[in-house]
Amino acid sequence: MNVESQTFRTQAALFLSLAVFTTGQSFLLVVLPPLGRRLGFADLHIGGILSLSALLIMVSAPAWGYLSERVGRRPVLLTALAGATLGSMGFGVIVYFRLSGVLSGFVALILIALVRATQTLVTSGILPAAQAYMADITTPAQRAGGMGTLGAAIGVGAIAGASLAWRVAAGNPALAFAVIAMLAAIALLSMLLVKEPVRTASMTISDARLPLGQIWPFLAITLASISAYSILQQVTALRLQDSLGFTVEESIARGGAALMATALAMIVVQACAVRVFRWKATRLLGVGAIMAVIAMLICTFVTTYSAIFATLILLGIGLGLMLTGNLASLSLRAGVGAQGKVAGVNVLAQGLGQAIGPIAGAGLHRVSPQVPFLAATTLLAIVCLVAVRAWRSAATNP
């Protein structure tokens, strides 16, 4: 097998692994809030579970990133995918027995919290290992395209998770969890077929230091943007239910459809902007941040489902540009020898954002269905200021 074919196979395996991981994450974020009500849980219970799992990512992801420098990217990915498979199976069993009346609400809540916590600790290595793996097999000139591939995988996963919520979970949530477990098993098999990337002596852990002075603005962007997006995922279905009068089943289906459209817009933009127009990372970041804050501001005040749907598509375009540019900027600023560490720290920032988002969304939703969207707009405005500053700085000092 020649080098190009081997690289393509590796990128395909990374794409599938990250897509499956994001499928499970997206599905849980869309389905658990309204499904929790059906299972007899309070909104804050589900928000707390999602926030706790995000906090666990903060603890474990940097450790996995460091470990990937020691033992390699592939072993970390294999362990994480095995955890994703078993965790999804556990969720399906618990939901099935709770809906069948075998489990009480209290026991089901405890079991879901335990399964989610364990699954999070094991699977949190996927993102840092995949990002570091991609950096290992791409040159600096190819970095934005490589990170765009990972961004597209995240978008595909978000679509798949939202699609399962839309088409399957409303009627049979246990079956949806079984489908996710099967996909994770397939991704595990694909990773078994690829080899560990070859790294030179200059890429070993002894040389790896985090250039915090160079990367902190991009970590701040990760934190604020993921917080805003997590708020959106937490409350979209609830807003449809409480503001527009949808039933639980309708809110799951319609919310899933809207978030699926958002993810589809992200994928299309990543493919076009990164691979066709070949914008620099800071330009992707700046333009995307401006579009995202405008979209979220409009979404805060619209009053119909069609308007919410349309503004979320615009948001997806902005996020597709912004997140890809931010990830590429982080990798390029980190340099060789620190890719696993910087990826782990970036996931820590994502975990903090995912911890802030669900609990903040659930709490603010109790004030008004529009207030969480206003909070997300404020966070994206901060992102916009930092991103535009980075864009202007890069233009001044190429």
According to the model, what pLDDT value does residue 273 have? Answer: 67
According to the model, what pLDDT value does residue 206 have? Answer: 41
- 3-state SS, the chain, equals CCHHHHHHHHHHHHHHHHHHHHHHHHHHHHHHHHHHHHHCCCHHHHHHHHHHHHHHHHHHHHHHHHHHHHHCHHHHHHHHHHHHHHHHHHHHHHHHHHHCCCCCHHHHHHHHHHHHHHHHHHHCCHHHHHHHHHHHCCCHHHHHHHHHHHHHHHHHHHHHHHHHHHHHHCCCHHHHHHHHHHHHHHHHHHHHCCCCCCCCHHHCHHHCCCCHHHHHHHHHHHHHHHHHHHHHHHHHHHHHHHHCCCCHHHHHHHHHHHHHHHHHHHHHHHHHHHHHHCCCHHHHHHHHHHHHHHHHHHHHHCCCHHHHHHHHHHHHHHHHHHHHHHHHHHHHHHCCCCHHHHHHHHHHHHHHHHHHHHHHHHHHHCCCCCHHHHHHHHHHHHHHHHHHHHHHHHHHCC
Report residue 48's pLDDT band, with 50, 70 and 90 as the boundaries.
confident
Query: Domain ranges in the chain?
Result: 7-195+212-396
Residue 144 pLDDT more than 90? Answer: no
Residue 234 pLDDT more than 60? Answer: yes
Residue 72 pLDDT more than 60? Answer: yes
According to the model, what pLDDT value does residue 126 have? Answer: 92
R_g (Cα) of the chain, nearest Å:
20
Tell me what percent of the residues of the chain surpass a pLDDT of 90: 29
Distance CA 287, CA 293 (A): 10
What's the topology of domain 7-195+212-396? Growth Hormone; Chain: A; (1.20.1250)
Per-residue pLDDT tens digits for 6-31: 778 888 999 999 999 989 888 887 78
Tell me what percent of the residues of the chain surpass a pLDDT of 70: 92
According to the model, what pLDDT value does residue 208 have? Answer: 52
- Six token digits for residue 100: 């069948």
CB environment 192-216: b (16+ within 10 A), e (fewer): eebeebebeeebeeeebebeeeebe
- Six token digits for residue 160: 């798949």
- Over range 378-390, report the average pLDDT: 90
Q: In this predicted model, which residue has the larger pLDDT, 2 or 309?
A: 309
Neighbouring residues of 243: CB distance < 8 A, sequence distance ≥ 6? 303, 369, 370
According to the model, what pLDDT value does residue 205 have? Answer: 46
Distances from the Cα of 110 to the Cαs of 56, 94, 354, 355, in angstroms? 17, 10, 21, 19
According to the model, what pLDDT value does residue 200 have? Answer: 53
Residue 68 phi/psi, 5-degree rounding, is -65, -25
According to the model, what pLDDT value does residue 225 have? Answer: 93
Report residue 202's pLDDT band, with 50, 70 and 90 as the boundaries.
very low
Residue 333 pLDDT more than 60? Answer: yes
Per mean pLDDT, which range of 117-121, 323-327, 328-332, 349-353 is the poorest? Answer: 349-353
- Within 13 Å of residue 84, how many CA atoms lie on the same side as its CB? 33
Report residue 308's pLDDT band, with 50, 70 and 90 as the boundaries.
very high
Supply the mean pLDDT for the chain: 84
Report residue 395's pLDDT band, with 50, 70 and 90 as the boundaries.
low
Neighbouring residues of 117: CB distance < 8 A, sequence distance ≥ 6? 52, 53, 56
Predicted TM-score (pTM) of this structure: 0.75
Per mean pLDDT, which range of 6-10, 74-78, 337-341 is the poorest? Answer: 337-341
Residue 207 pLDDT more than 50? Answer: no
Report residue 119's pLDDT band, with 50, 70 and 90 as the boundaries.
very high
- Over range 190-215, report the average pLDDT: 69
- Over range 209-228, report the average pLDDT: 86
Residue 285 pLDDT more than 80? Answer: yes
According to the model, what pLDDT value does residue 2 have? Answer: 63
Q: In this predicted model, which residue has the larger pLDDT, 210 or 149?
A: 149
- Compute, in degrees rounded to 10, the torsion defined by CA atoms 127, 82, 166, 265: 20
